[in-house]
Structures are given as C-alpha cells and as structure tokens.
Structure 1
Amino acid sequence: MKIVSLNLRGWGNSAKRRRLSSLIKSGAFDMCLLQETKRTSFSDSMIHSLWGHKEVDWLAKESVGLSGGLLLVWNKDLFSFRFSFSGIGFLGICVEWKDGLLYIVNIYSPCSMAGKRKLWKDLIDFKSNHDTGEWCLGGDFNAIMSSDERRGSGSNVRKSERAEFSSFLEAMEVIYVPVLGKKFTWFSFDNSAMSRLDRFLLSDGFIQKGGISNQWVGNRDISDHCPIWL
C-alpha cells in the first residue's frame, strides 16, 4: 500500500490542482490524505480529474470558514470499506485489510494546546470503544516529538507539550518509523523557521503486515509543507 499525505494550504487554482494531480500520478499511490483543502464541497468529477481515473472512492470533511478541510481518496480495490468517523481535526475510515481491521486517520491538528488535547483525547476514546485493529495516522499534527524537530522562530516548544504528545502515541500504540529525505516538513517563506509537523504514526501490526520500513519527506512544491510518502 502506497500512501501520500500533504497539507495543501488551500485547494487553489487550476494550475495548483494540476501540480497536485501530477504529484499523485507520478507516485502511482493507492491512497491520498490531504489536509487544509479549505473547501466545503467536492464532486466525483473533481476527484476523478485529480486521480486520473474513476476507480476511486473518497471521503471529505468540509472546512470551517477559510480554514481546515480534509480529503481521503483511495483506489476502490484496495480494501473493503466498513465505516467512517470524524471529529475536530481528523477524518478516519475503518476498513477490512489482511484478515483484520485497519483504521486510517487523516489528521489536521488545531494549533492551540486545548485543540490538540481535544483531538488526542477523542482518538484515544474512539480506540478504546471500538474493535481491535491496526492503525495508520497521517497528516499535519502541529506537534513535534523532540526539540531537534524545530528550528528558528518559536523553536522552544514546552517540554510538557512534547510529553503529552508522546503520551498520546503510547495510548494509541503507534510508533514513528524512520524518515528519509528532508528532515523538516514545514518551512517559513524565508526559511528562517522550519519544523517536522507532518508524519505517519503506525501500529506495529500495520508495519509488519504492510512491509513498511520508512517514510519519505519529499520536496516542497505547491505548499509550504512537504509531501510525506509511506
């Protein structure tokens, strides 16, 4: 299973959408997780144009005002879809995969600490109240795991925030697989500040069953965030 995740910073004009479509087609991805679409609606024709063919399923969470918005797109024959779920800052699906369940969650975390805590708590509560399965969390977490994941302006993230983020990972039983490519995933306009905000967090079973060894941070192109390839 090949998955790409990208914070779009807006759906943009036709030129930006063509670049996005080219990125997706170049990697022949099975699934795409897009954050911050800033759109309130999508159509089959828009998704088919993005993906390059009609054999896809998709699910969207509308933006609120001029911010947010999540989109999941995947090849129809990838797995058997069971149900979707969502909350503040996330959109997920539960699917049947390799004789078990797999929960795939597209993340666009709020910037505020209160919003992050709400997102983390909601996902932990969801996990504790649903059938056991593997997990794949991907997207923009707006959080770092260690001080060396941020450089420049605002680099002094509180230890307590990093500790709470680590506690969330432990409760979800997901880990961070090694990163290849770029060290940081978000860059300010003048490159004076940079952070690793985007990532995939995976359960051990998903890593083993999927034969996953790493995640790749690609080049920045249509956004101030880099695409992440799993």
Structure 2
Amino acid sequence: MNVLSINLCGAGGPEKMEWIKRLKRQHNIMFIAIQETQIQISSNLKPTCFWGQTNCDFDFMDAHGRSGGLLCLWDPGKFSKSSVCKNRNFLQICGKITGHDEPVTITNIYGPQDPSAKRSLWRHLESTIDPSTPHLLIGDFNAVRHPSDRLNSDFCQSEANQFNSFIQRVGLKEFSLGGRRYTYMSKSGDKFSRIDRAFATPSLMRIWSDFDLLALPRECSDHCYLLLRSNNCDFGATPFRFFSSWFNEAGYTEVVQKALNLPTDLPPGAKPDKVLAVKLKKVKELLRAWSKSARN
C-alpha cells in the first residue's frame, strides 16, 4: 500500500490537481495525504479532482480561512475506513487494508507554527495513539528533531526536545528518509528544513518492514512530496525461457508434437492467430513441465 504525502500550499488550480493525479498513477498510490489545502473543501472543491477516473473514498478537514486544511483520499478496494478523528491539525483515518485482519490508523499531520500550539498537538496526538496497534503518522509536522534538520534557519532546542519527548513517550519509530536531505525550501531559496516526516508504531513497522520513505522533487509546492512505498514488488508470473540446447535433448520433439496435437477447445472457424496463440501456450506449458522433470 503506497502512500503519498504533500503539503500543497493551496489546493486551488488545475495544475496542482493534474500533478497529484500524475503522481498517483506513476507511483501506484493507494492513499494520499494532503496538507494545507487552504480552502473549504465542503463547498469549494470535489476531492476526486486529485484522484482521477477510478473509484476513491475521501475525508477532509476544512481550512480556517486561508490557513491549514487537510484532505485524505484512498482506494476503497485496498483500504476501507471504519472511523475518523478530526482536529484542526490532524485527520486520523482508521480502517483495514485488504488482506489484513488488524486495523491500521493513518494520521495526516499539519503542525502549527506556534510553540504552545505544538505542545498541545503532541499531547492530543499522544492521547489518540495506542503504541501496541499499527499506526502511521505522516505529513508536515512543522518541527525538527536535530540542528542538522535545518540549514540557514533558526533551530530551537526546546521545541526539538518537546517533539523528541513526544516521539519517545509514544514509542514511535521514524522512517529513514531518502532522496533529499531537506523537504522544505523557503521562497527566497536560501533556507531549508526537514519538517515533512513519517513515523510508525512498532507494530506497524513489523508489518511494513520492507517500506522505505523518499522525499522527491518539488514541482507545484515549496515542499517535497513524500513517497512511502513497499519494496516487495510483484513482477508477475515467472517468464518462460527457451534454451537452444533443448533441441538435442531426448524427448524434446515428442513433447512439442504432443502439445501441437492437443485440442484447442476453440469453436470451429476460430481465427488462425487465436488458434496459434493457444497452441503455443500449450507448447510452453508442456515444455516447462518436461524441463522441470528432466532436471529432477
């Protein structure tokens, strides 16, 4: 289940919608977490504009004026929502991933700038997270953990300590970041920060042990988008390989002749190319079985 997270810095405009749809197709995204929509989604926008033609489900938290705003979209064939918890700074979706019995919670985060509001957010999040259950937190935390997370911008040790203390109390594990060192660039282009992050409870880390996190190029935002993806790829059926040495093997000719003489089960008058495709498929199946038995 690949997850996309992006601070969109305003969701208006077809360019950003097309960008998100392209990323969804390109990376086979099943869940999208958008921060800072800056709009009233309930009255101004159809969330499916970010998804495309295929079926999707969604939930959202409206912006306060032009501030904030959260949107989550997902493939209902891969993830089914059972409950939701909303806050000005987070949108928490709980549900089940297809093929897994244990519920998973995904929390879309947009952290505030004000230090006291950050402390309040950490306390609120702590009260909603059960460390023993699978839980993903992803988004723009507007917080850093170490001085190296900033370049040419101020680092506040006390805020970092409070953030790290929250992470430690809940027992969260952070996904290592690849692709980029920093996820945010100021409009002037000279200040950089790593404020977009992804965390998981230990139980989710065990389920998603093969996942990695990438920060990929900024295009329609001053934030890099985060791609949390699985490395356990299904490359389809094992390809059939034919070896010229088989021509000299005993039994090869008989296997091919047997396959070609098998009935195709096609109706009379079937197109020749269809008949040929079926016969070649039977040749492949019998050769694969013959090769395996010859090796044994």
Contact 1:35 1:107 in 2 (8 A): yes
| Corresponding position of 1:217 | 215
Contact 1:105 1:137 in 2 (8 A): yes
Alpha-carbon distance between aligned partners in 2 of 1:27 and 1:96, rounded to the nearest angstrom:
21
Output aligned runs, 1:83-162, within 5 Å.
Answer: 83-97=83-97, 98-127=100-129, 132-154=132-154, 157-162=155-160
Alpha-carbon distance between aligned partners in 2 of 1:127 and 1:208, rounded to the nearest angstrom:
17
Bigger relative CO (Cα 8 Å, ≥ 6 apart): 1
Which 4+ residue blocks in structure 1 deviate beyond 6 angstroms?
A: none
Alpha-carbon distance between aligned partners in 1 of 2:144 and 2:71, rounded to the nearest angstrom:
23
Alpha-carbon distance between aligned partners in 2 of 1:65 and 1:42, rounded to the nearest angstrom:
13
Runs of 5+ unmatched residues, structure 1? none
- Paired residues in the alignment total 226
Deviations 1:203-225 (A, max 9, x none): 22212212334200000100000
More helix by share: 2
Quote how far apart the aligned CAs of 1:108 are.
Answer: 0.3
| Corresponding position of 1:172 | 170
| Corresponding position of 2:202 | 204
Identity %: 29
- When residues 134 and 189 of structure 1 are mapped into structure 2, their CA distance, relative to the original with a 3 A threshold, is same
Contact 1:55 1:76 in 2 (8 A): yes
Quote how far apart the aligned CAs of 1:54 are.
Answer: 3.8
| Corresponding position of 1:10 | 10
Alpha-carbon distance between aligned partners in 1 of 2:210 and 2:200, rounded to the nearest angstrom:
10
Partner amino acid, structure 2, of 1:173: G
Contact 1:35 1:71 in 2 (8 A): yes
Worse-matched range after superposition: 8-17 or 193-202: 8-17
Worse-matched range after superposition: 189-198 or 64-73: 189-198
Deviations 1:153-187 (A, max 9, x none): 32xx2222111101111222211121110100000
Contact 1:88 1:119 in 2 (8 A): no
CA RMSD of superposed structures (Å)? 1.9
Q: Secondary structure of 2:9's partner?
A: coil
Runs of 5+ unmatched residues, structure 2? 229-296
Deviations 1:93-142 (A, max 9, x none): 111342212111000010011111111111111226xx952110000000
Partner amino acid, structure 2, of 1:172: V
Partner amino acid, structure 1, of 2:158: S
Quote how far apart the aligned CAs of 1:27 are.
Answer: 1.3
Alpha-carbon distance between aligned partners in 2 of 1:80 and 1:23, rounded to the nearest angstrom:
22
More strand by share: 1
